[in-house]
Structure 1
Amino acid sequence: MQLDRPARSSKKLIGLTPLIDVVFILLLFFMLTSSFIQWQSLDLMVASGNKGEASDEPPLMLGVHGDGTVFLANEPLANLADVQLRELLVSRDRDVNLTPSDASSIQQVVTLLERLEMLGARSVSVNTRPLP
């Protein structure tokens, strides 16, 4: 007795459900790991060894501590308004010497650099040796 059985197909079907799951997981991964921050640049110049003009005024010595507090001659500038700081910078045509502490972040230093640039600082030097 001979039965007619259809031959099994050698092709296996790929299920779409696992494929959709993998695509969904990849989509979530790339959405969560991408950043949507608009990057901005800050122009910095490296100082050369020779100075052009020497100012009669000593540089304005500013310090940044870890909590973001800005100090002028060991006095916090929390109560000093931008108008007063602008007068210190522009009226005397002074340079600024900025010294960050070990605990201060790069973002705090860059924010202060931008603030000083907006207030009209002629030149800002950043010390590589932090405050004690």
Structure 2
Amino acid sequence: MQLVDPRPSRPIPIRITPLIDVVFILLVFFMLTTRLLPLDYLELANETSQRSSTEGDPLPELRVAANGTIRWQDNDYGLSELLPTLKAQGLTKVNLATTPETSLAHFTRTLSALDNAGIEPHWKRTDAPDS
């Protein structure tokens, strides 16, 4: 007398539908819980490792404000006023910084204008303020 039916000789097929459901649930979970990088930051390559930090004079620092004006030597300039002033001073490299409230549009506009004018901007990314 046999109490349990013997296993069939052919392999039992694996049902794919529940596996696909689990994969989609995991996908939705990770899409909803993943924190994406903020769009306010632009990753730039800044090759400063090739030169010593003790050589020469420090680069002048330009700070882009939230309204788009640029502060240099305790004066505020518009972009159209600043470029000829920098060229007249004979500057070819500057450090570019922003205030925490500065929009990405003002930063990229200033960065592009400096680059197009033949002035090499260096930008160091700083930590964002706690929100």
TM superposition score normalised by structure 1: 0.51
Structure 2 residue identity aligned to 1:62: L
Deviations 1:18-68 (A, max 9, x none): xxxxxxxxxxxxxxxxxxxxxxxx9942435x2336652321110011111
Structure 2 residue identity aligned to 1:115: A
Compared with structure 1, are the counterparts of its residues 102 and 66 closer, same or farther at alpha carbon in structure 2 (3 Å cutoff)?
same
For the aligned residues, what is the CA RMSD? 3.1
Match of 2:71 in 1: 71
Q: Which has the larger radius of gyration?
A: 1
Note the residue ranges of structure 2 that are not aligned, 5 or more in a row: 1-41
Compared with structure 1, are the counterparts of its residues 46 and 57 closer, same or farther at alpha carbon in structure 2 (3 Å cutoff)?
closer
The 1-side partners of 2:88 and 2:127 are apart by 28
| Deviation of the 1:127 alpha carbon | 4.1
Note the residue ranges of structure 1 that are not aligned, 5 or more in a row: 1-41
Match of 2:88 in 1: 87
Match of 1:121 in 2: 119
Match of 2:50 in 1: 51
8 Å CA contact 2:111–2:121 kept in 1: the answer is: no
- Give structure 1 regions of 4+ aligned residues with deviation exceeding 4 angstroms: none
**Residue correspondences, number:** 86
TM superposition score normalised by structure 2: 0.51
Compared with structure 1, are the counterparts of its residues 81 and 66 closer, same or farther at alpha carbon in structure 2 (3 Å cutoff)?
closer
The 1-side partners of 2:95 and 2:125 are apart by 7
| Percent of pairs with identical residues | 19
